[in-house]
Amino acid sequence: MRVVRISMMSGILVLAAACGGGPGATGGPGVTGGPGANGTPAAAACTGSGGTQVGIADNTFNPQSATVAVGGTVTWTNADAATHTVTFNDSGPDCGRLGKDASVSQTFTAAGTFTYICAIHSSMRGSVVVQ
């Protein structure tokens, strides 16, 4: 029984290490901290403040698409009672869970279109266009 438990725990640890992600994760072209898949935010993972505002209310991102210049910052603020996330697609950062009135920001350092979802409510989708 002990051998089985150790083998299972080793497998879980290897899987967890391979997945990475989570708050503070980095990756993607132009993402501070290392390379990764295409389409990920060219930014330090969930950093910055101010800039273009995106509200989260009624299970939607508003505006659904935000446009900023290279070096620009987007800040998401959750006005819903429900918890939401800002999770970038294609191995990009997950900015963690946002409770009511919580905010998170992302500063973008390269041009492109970066899509994201709420990992809790997958019908919630948005994008940031960096020019």
The pLDDT of residue 91? 65
pLDDT given for residue 84 in this prediction: 96
The CATH code that applies to domain 22-130 is 2.60.40.420
pTM of the model: 0.67
Question: Closest Cα partner for 39 from 108, 118, 119?
Answer: 108
> CA separation (Å) from 57 to 1, 48, 82, 93, 101?
50, 22, 9, 22, 10
pLDDT per position in the chain (131 positions), as tens? 444 444 444 443 333 333 333 333 333 333 332 233 334 555 556 776 789 999 999 999 999 999 999 999 999 999 999 999 999 987 677 888 999 999 999 999 989 999 999 999 999 999 999 99
DSSP assignment of 97-131 equals EE-TT-EEEEE--S-EEEEEE-SSSTT-EEEEEE-
Amino acid 90: pLDDT: 74
Q: Identify the residue whose tokens are 């997945």.
A: 19
pLDDT for position 44: 52
